[in-house]
Structure 1
């Protein structure tokens, strides 16, 4: 199943329709009013909250522990454990509700969770969910001029055709992500990863390639259409992914 959230979100027509119109954009700096962080949500430190506000996030994630199809904890039908061995990061995760869901400058993500180096968090996901994650590294990562996180992304679908891949399309110079499915398939910067054919970012049809996926076990890489699709499978219904930020 196609898991190319970035290409879907940032296709030419979707981009024109979904881009925020109220930002005074200069490079990657947004003229955003910011939001208060006196009482940040559970799991997000005040310093991290203030940084997200300063770079133009619409707001922090709610970080729910229940009552949501993406939630903190290990009680769901599918789980992902995120670990950051060496770096302080903020996990940012959003559900793809519509074409604008990834634009965190105008739409709050579902999760913004502080991960000090050496820590981890487990996220539960219901079946039938599509979405993506990225990360803010050391209060350095910015938003792109489009209002998305300007870093590597991981992209996923859950359910009967559950798929996960890494996308370097938002920033070919982004940080090193790994997503390892319990059945053995690994998506990383060189495997089951979408990369730009040229330039530092890309989204148009024909501008990206899927690399290093056919040799991975349980992959569903497909190259028969106008653009490649697919990624790692093997985590359908009660599956698990171990994801790492390096």
Structure 2
């Protein structure tokens, strides 16, 4: 679950750092390029990204188009030859752009200063693309619709979050925007994550991420096929100034921590389907 305290706390500092980057420099941080220039050359979009979608990305503040590699690059690439694959299908009534990134640190999801691995256009309902992921990595994805914007450098929409390998897990996260567009995910084991099941939601706010502000809904073990599961990170902190009632009602979380988990069913590889609505 990537959209949480460390990300929220880093926003101001990261934005200042991004503004300070020289205009033509690209550094690499943990294998994920940090973007130096603040415009996109949409006359030459990467393969798979339309000019219109590139212009939308540039308008809302993306620092770069995706890599859109068509071969195994050791992380995330377009194609179906990897051990874990995701097929994204446009189920909306308009064009969407698939954005997928590798999670290497708390800055990875800031698409204003980090390059995504995939930015791929699905201009018509029913259009689809398959993306591969290497074993033992984590990442996330989101869809850009016509009205999607960035908020503090993040895609202001619903996210799908995933990891691969022996403990492979995928979930839907509504934490970046509780009013975001619908995502439906199904693993080969039959576990489904959507806006109601195996989904991270804010307890009170329309956007959240700090410790104690979110929960994982309807993902208990044996609640459906495909190894749904809930764990805890043992890092729960009751907010400073919380009322006595809040402290009492949340006290049991102190021994457990914030929720983690999601859908299994693709341990050590498999094909995951994603509908973007």
TM-score by length of 1: 0.89
- Hey, what does 1:18 align to over in structure 2? 14
Pick the structure with greater CA Rg.
2
Distance 2:52 2:3 in 1: 28
Large movers: runs of 4+ above 6 Å? none
1:170 equivalent in alignment to 2:166:
no
Over aligned residues, Cα RMSD in angstroms?
A: 1.8
8 Å Cα contact 2:5-2:211 kept in structure 1: no
Alpha-carbon distance, 1:16 to partner? 5.1
Q: Relative to structure 2, which stretch is displaced further, 229-238 or 186-195?
A: 229-238
1:85 equivalent in alignment to 2:91:
yes
Uncovered stretches (5+) of structure 2, i.e. residues with no partner: 20-36, 233-254
Q: Relative to structure 2, which stretch is displaced further, 32-41 or 116-125?
A: 32-41
- Hey, what does 2:63 align to over in structure 1? 58
CA deviation profile, 1:86-144 (whole Å, cap 9, x unmatched): 3310000000122101000111111100012210000111101100000101x210001
8 Å Cα contact 1:70-1:110 kept in structure 2: yes
Q: Name the structure, 1 or 2, with higher relative contact order (CA <8 Å, separation 6+).
A: 1
Correspondent of 1:128 among 136, 160, 173: 136
Distance 2:135 2:5 in 1: 20
Aligned with 2:54: secondary structure?
Answer: helix
What does 1:83-232 align with in structure 2 at a 5 Å threshold?
83-86=89-92, 87-116=94-123, 117-137=125-145, 139-144=146-151, 146-214=152-220, 215-217=223-225, 218-223=227-232, 225-232=256-263
Uncovered stretches (5+) of structure 1, i.e. residues with no partner: 24-31
CA 1:33 to 1:19, structure 2 compared with 1: closer, same or farther past 3 Å?
A: closer
TM-score by length of 2: 0.80
Aligned with 2:273: secondary structure?
Answer: strand
